[in-house]
C-alpha cells in the first residue's frame, strides 16, 4: 500500500505586478505579471472589471509562472484599468495597472522650422 503525501496548498501570489503604461495611439502595448501558487492558479485578465477574451485585437499568453496581455495597436477606447487575477482553491491574488492612451505627435516642417502637431489617430489611421 502506497501512502500519498498530501499536496500543500499555496494561495496565489503575484510576484511581478502589472505596470501602468502610457502609450501613444496606434502603438502596441504589452502587460505582464509573474505569479505562483499550488496548485497552478487559473489566470484571467480584465479591463474595467470585464473579462477579456483573446481575439485578433488582444493576445493573451499564460505560461507556468507568467502571463502577458498584448494589444498590437492601441487606441483611446482601449485605455482603462487592466487587472490580472490568479485563482486556485487556496485563494486569489490580483494586480492591476492603467493603460493611458496619449495623442501621437507628428512633426512637420514649414520654412525650415520644425513644428509638432498633436492629434489622435483613429481606427482608419486618420489624424484628427
CATH number at residue 17: 2.60.40.10
Model confidence, pTM: 0.77
Residue 70 domain-assigned?
A: yes
Residue 93 has what pLDDT? 98
Contact 23, 101 (CB under 8 A): yes
Q: Residue 55 sits in which domain range?
A: 10-102
52-89 pLDDT, tens digit each = 999 999 999 999 999 999 999 999 999 999 999 999 99
| Mean predicted lDDT score pLDDT of the chain | 87
Residue 36 domain-assigned?
A: yes
State percent of the chain over pLDDT 90: 73
Residue 90 domain-assigned?
A: yes
Residue 77 domain-assigned?
A: yes
Residue 68 domain-assigned?
A: yes
Average pLDDT value for residue range 88-110: 84
Beta-carbon-side half-sphere exposure of residue 56 (alpha carbons within 13 Å):
0
- Give the count of domains, the chain: 1
For 77, phi then psi, to 5°, come to -65, -15
Residue 86 has what pLDDT? 98
Contact 75, 121 (CB under 8 A): yes
Amino acid at each position: 500500500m502506497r501512502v500519498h503525501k498530501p499536496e500543500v496548498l499555496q494561495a496565489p501570489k503575484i510576484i511581478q505586478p502589472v505596470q501602468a503604461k502610457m502609450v501613444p495611439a496606434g502603438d502596441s502595448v504589452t502587460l505582464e505579471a509573474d505569479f505562483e501558487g499550488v496548485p497552478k492558479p487559473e489566470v484571467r485578465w480584465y479591463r474595467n472589471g470585464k473579462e477579456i477574451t483573446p481575439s485578433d485585437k488582444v493576445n493573451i499568453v499564460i505560461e507556468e509562472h507568467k502571463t502577458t496581455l498584448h494589444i498590437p495597436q492601441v487606441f483611446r477606447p482601449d485605455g482603462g484599468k487592466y487587472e490580472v487575477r490568479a485563482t486556485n482553491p487556496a485563494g486569489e491574488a490580483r494586480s492591476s495597472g492603467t493603460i493611458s492612451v496619449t495623442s501621437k505627435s507628428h512633426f512637420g516642417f514649414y520654412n525650415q522650422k520644425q513644428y509638432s502637431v498633436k492629434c489622435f489617430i483613429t481606427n482608419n489611421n486618420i489624424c484628427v
